[in-house]
Amino acid sequence: MSRTSVFLERNPLALIGRVILHFCESLGHWVLFTGRALAHVVMPPFYPRAIGRQLMEIGYFSLPVVGLTAFFTGMVLALQIYVGSSRFNAEDTIATIVVIAIVRELGPVLGGLMVAGRVAAAMAAEIGTMRVTEQIDALTTLSTNPFKYLVAPRLIAATVALPLLVLVADIIGVMGGYVIGTQRLEFNYANYLKRTLDYLEYSDVVSGLVKAGVFGFLIALMGCYHGYNSKGGAQGVGQATTNAVVSASILILIANYVITELFFAR
């Protein structure tokens, strides 16, 4: 056993300090990576074909899983609200609560988490494989900036695609609540729609779409960051994939609170 290991075992404060220093180092690497990525997002040249390909991969191919999640979430939400509100004779609030909950919170958050599980892992695996097989070094040798070619198109595509996905998810989720409310709970069709539209405000939709844009950026950023910095062969790529999904999910939940506080705090 080395002297360092013995010292850490005998001095817990040294272990805590080492953890804090490692966290600060990782945070610094992440901040520098983010700044460099943002610089390449706004500076030419751009790669429209790569951006279009990522839009298809992130947006179009994620639509089935996001749509199914939103639809069944709306259905379950309507049932649960009915069970809870019936205790207070407030069953007529179902349409209002369903649309506000889905548009403000559940649509962006659940959509972001589902896309994070699918897209962040794929980005980390793809870029991580390129890193360990030295393809990124080959791009640099060919005078192609890896940030410009690999990172920037994914950031742009995810930031644009996720609000569109969430907008579709909102519609499908409200439809799920409508189906349960009218078919299972026997509400009047016209009254349900009227209450849905009467209590939905512009700020509700805007806040959800802003959240979706931020979530999309964070998902792509975490996938690219962990993939770009992966090392250690196949095992390192697997670890990068796991870290990308976990970190993206955590950042989505943190950003969700921050944006909600900015929009709705009084």
Under DSSP, the state recorded for 117 is I
pLDDT of residue 3: 59
Question: What's the pLDDT band for 22 if we cut at 50, 70, 90?
Answer: confident
- Domain count along the chain: 2
User: Looking at the structure, do residues 248 and 150 belong to the same domain, yes or no?
Assistant: yes
Measured CA to CA, the distance from residue 163 to residue 48 in angstroms comes to 19
User: Looking at the structure, do residues 1 and 95 belong to the same domain, yes or no?
Assistant: no
Cβ-contact 112, 212 below 8 angstroms: yes
Q: Convert the pLDDT of each residue in 209-264 to its tens digit.
A: 999 999 999 999 999 999 888 887 778 888 889 999 999 999 999 999 999 888 87
User: Looking at the structure, do residues 248 and 208 belong to the same domain, yes or no?
Assistant: yes
User: Looking at the structure, do residues 84 and 128 belong to the same domain, yes or no?
Assistant: yes
User: Looking at the structure, do residues 125 and 37 belong to the same domain, yes or no?
Assistant: no
Q: Which domain holds residue 26?
A: 1-43
Residue with tokens 């049932």: 79
Measured CA to CA, the distance from residue 195 to residue 81 in angstroms comes to 15
pLDDT of residue 171: 93
User: Looking at the structure, do residues 24 and 84 belong to the same domain, yes or no?
Assistant: no
- 148 by Cβ neighbours in 10 Å (0-12 / 13-18 / 19+) ranks as buried
User: Looking at the structure, do residues 3 and 74 belong to the same domain, yes or no?
Assistant: no
User: Looking at the structure, do residues 235 and 118 belong to the same domain, yes or no?
Assistant: yes
Q: Convert the pLDDT of each residue in 87-138 to its tens digit.
A: 777 667 788 888 999 999 999 999 999 999 999 999 999 998 888 888 888 8
User: Looking at the structure, do residues 152 and 25 belong to the same domain, yes or no?
Assistant: no
Angstrom distances, CA of residue 64 to CA of 9, 53, 156, 216, 223? 51, 18, 21, 17, 21
User: Looking at the structure, do residues 23 and 125 belong to the same domain, yes or no?
Assistant: no
User: Looking at the structure, do residues 5 and 82 belong to the same domain, yes or no?
Assistant: no
Furthest CA-CA distance within the chain? 76
Cβ-contact 65, 122 below 8 angstroms: no
Q: What is the DSSP string of 192-250?
A: HHHHHHHS--HHHHHHHHHHHHHHHHHHHHHHHHHHHT--SHHHHHHHHHHHHHHHHHH
User: Looking at the structure, do residues 160 and 211 belong to the same domain, yes or no?
Assistant: yes
